[in-house]
Structure 1
C-alpha cells in the first residue's frame, strides 16, 4: 500500500473528507490529490478527490478522478451512484454532452430508482437536442414521485402524453 497501512489510509481519508465537509476544501483537495497519487487504484480515494474538485468548481480536473473511481472497484453503491451522477453532471457542465448522456444513461440503468440521475440525464438529452426523450423522462418522473394531488389526478393522461407530446387523445 505504498507506505500506508490500511489504518493510515482510513485516517487520512477520513481527515480529508472532514476538511471538505467543514469548508476547508482547498486543504482537503491537497490531501486527497496526494493520497490519490500514492493509491492510484483506490476507487474511494479517487471519488473523494473528484468530489472535492467539483466543490471547488474545478470540473475539468475532477473528470480523471471520477473516471478512475468508476473504473476501479470497491465503491459502495451510494458512492458509485454519486460518482456516476458527478461525472455525468461534470461532463454536461464542460459541454461534453454525448459523454454526459452515456454516463447518466448507464447510471439510470444501474440505479433505476434514482430520480437525480434521471433528472440530469434529461438535462443532458436536452443539450443534444433530444427534447422529446428529456420531456418523457421528466414527465414520467414527475407523475411517479409527486405528492401534489392535482398532478396525481392527471397521472394517466400525463403518462400517455409523456410517450408522445405531439399525440392527441
Structure 2
C-alpha cells in the first residue's frame, strides 16, 4: 500500500489526525502530485478546518487533477467557500464545474445553496425543484412532475 493509499485508508477509518500528518508529509515529498493535495484538502474538510482546506483544493486544481478527483475538488472547494461565506468565490467555482461537467447534477444543487445564501431564493428554488422533478423516483412526485416543472420558475406569480 502506498503512503497515499494509507492516508486515504486512515481518513476513511476516522483517523483524521494521522491521515493529515501523513498527507502533509507527502506534500513535502511529492508536491507536484495533485492527488496528494486533493486528499489533504479532503481531510482538512472533514476535520472542520475549512480555511486550510481551500489552499489544498486550489492547488490540486491548479496542478491539473483529473477525473472523479477533479469533480470532487470542484465540489469540495465550492462547498467550502460557501460554508466560509465566500459566496462569489463559491458561485464562480461551481459555475466552472457546471461548464466542465454539465451532466453532474450535484453541482447544480450546491449552486442552489449558494444562490440561497445570496438571497436569490427564486432561482435557488427553481434549480432544486427541477432537480427533484427530474431525478425523484417517488410516485407522488412523478405524478406531479409536469406541474412542478411548470411552476419551478413561477413561484412568485399570482394567478388571477
TM-score (norm 2): 0.92
2:94 aligned with 1:104: yes
Q: Deviations over 1:8-63 (max 9, x none)?
A: xx711111111111111101101111211332221111000000101111100100
Q: Deviations over 1:100-156 (max 9, x none)?
A: 111112222322232322211111111011111111110110000011121112222
Whether the 8 Å CA contact 1:88–1:103 is kept in 2: the answer is: yes
Inter-partner Cα distance in structure 1 for 2:78 and 2:36: 19
Pick aligned residue for 1:45 from 31, 36, 45: 36
Deviation, structure 1 residue 168? 5.2
The 3-state SS of whatever aligns with 2:26 is: helix
Structure 2 residues without counterparts, runs of 5 or longer:
none
Inter-partner Cα distance in structure 2 for 1:168 and 1:152: 24
Q: Which residue of 2 aligns with 1:66?
A: 57
Q: Deviations over 1:55-84 (max 9, x none)?
A: 1111001000000011112x3421111111
Aligned length: 159
Structure 1 residues without counterparts, runs of 5 or longer:
1-9
Inter-partner Cα distance in structure 1 for 2:123 and 2:28: 40
Q: Which residue of 2 aligns with 1:30?
A: 21
Inter-partner Cα distance in structure 1 for 2:158 and 2:95: 29
Whether the 8 Å CA contact 1:41–1:68 is kept in 2: the answer is: no
Q: Which residue of 2 aligns with 1:132?
A: 122
Inter-partner Cα distance in structure 2 for 1:27 and 1:35: 12
Q: Which residue of 2 aligns with 1:117?
A: 107
C-alpha root-mean-square deviation of aligned residues, in Å? 1.6
Q: Which residue of 2 aligns with 1:78?
A: 68
Pick aligned residue for 2:5 from 2, 14, 30: 14
Pick aligned residue for 2:141 from 135, 138, 151: 151
